Amino acid sequence: MDFVWVKKAFRRKRRRGGKPLAGVGRWAGLAARLINPLALGSLAVGLSACALFDYSPPGPDDYPVKGIDVSYYQEDINWRSVVADNTAFAWLKATEGGDWSDPKFDANWYGAAMAGLPRGAYHFWYFCRPAMEQVSWFLQHVPYDPYALPPVLDIEWVDSKTCPGHPPRETIISEVRTWLDAIERYYGKRPIIYTSISFYNDRLRGAFPDHLVWIASYKGHPVVRDPSLRWNFWQHTEGGRVAGIRGRVDRNVFNGSVREWRAFLEGRLRPEG
């Protein structure tokens, strides 16, 4: 359990004027004359514990570092306006499989950089293409930039007429490892894995402990849906609004403080657990 989250939630409750133990003092004065002090002390501890854990899971606004991910669906983007709207990072769709590239990638890649926004590229995995073909395709379209964010591999279950079926865990892990290792060798940064909770549990859990994980979870906080999940980024909505983008956009948060975000940008943040 994230006890920092618990403490923050408790402080928020008190700042809002809430009194977790309202009335307990008056009740205790009366009860002290009726029951022994030891029993009363145990009761007080129990009441305090109930009050402490009376909170809601943290929402996206509780995380200080926020970002987006985009593709050609967002059309032309005013990146300076995006930066001004409290956006700390962006990942841009670059490629898919071994034969499709995002027509807006170049404009987004250079536009975000000109606006001073940390940005990186992501590749959408296609299960019916060999890993090295997908590596080659990504390298053809994403320039080497030592200042870019780490590349991202987006891997999830999709309904595809051209590539039906669900490959077994062993096959996926072997192919994904090939892609991750080759991309890291070329760009000098360890790629991040983007996926859903269901796919992570079905095929990836425990396979890549040295890689940061970016989780898509629109139905609630990742830790509520799976308390054992280790995650570093959370895509919490695909219908967000950000200045500089006319339509809806995926919104994300970084699981950490501003100081930890700086460590990530400097390549010093390592996966936990």
List active site positions. Answer: 69, 156
Report the DSSP beta bridge partners of residue 100.
96
Could you tell me the two tokens for 85?
């709207």
Could you tell me the two tokens for 103?
């027509």
Cβ 93 vs Cβ 105: under 8 Å:
yes
As a whole number of angstroms, the distance between CA 264 and CA 267 comes to 5
Helix spans in 56-95 (H): 79-84
Could you tell me the two tokens for 189?
């940064």
Cβ 103 vs Cβ 72: under 8 Å:
yes
As a whole number of angstroms, the distance between CA 170 and CA 203 comes to 8
Other C-beta atoms closer than 10 Å to the C-beta of 204 total 18
Q: What is the CB-side half-sphere exposure of residue 273 using CA atoms within 13 A?
A: 8
The DSSP symbol for 63 reads S
Single-letter code of the amino acid located at 114:
M
As a whole number of angstroms, the distance between CA 124 and CA 225 comes to 24
> How far does Cα 136 stand from its chain's mean position?
27
As a whole number of angstroms, the distance between CA 270 and CA 231 comes to 12
Other C-beta atoms closer than 10 Å to the C-beta of 171 total 12
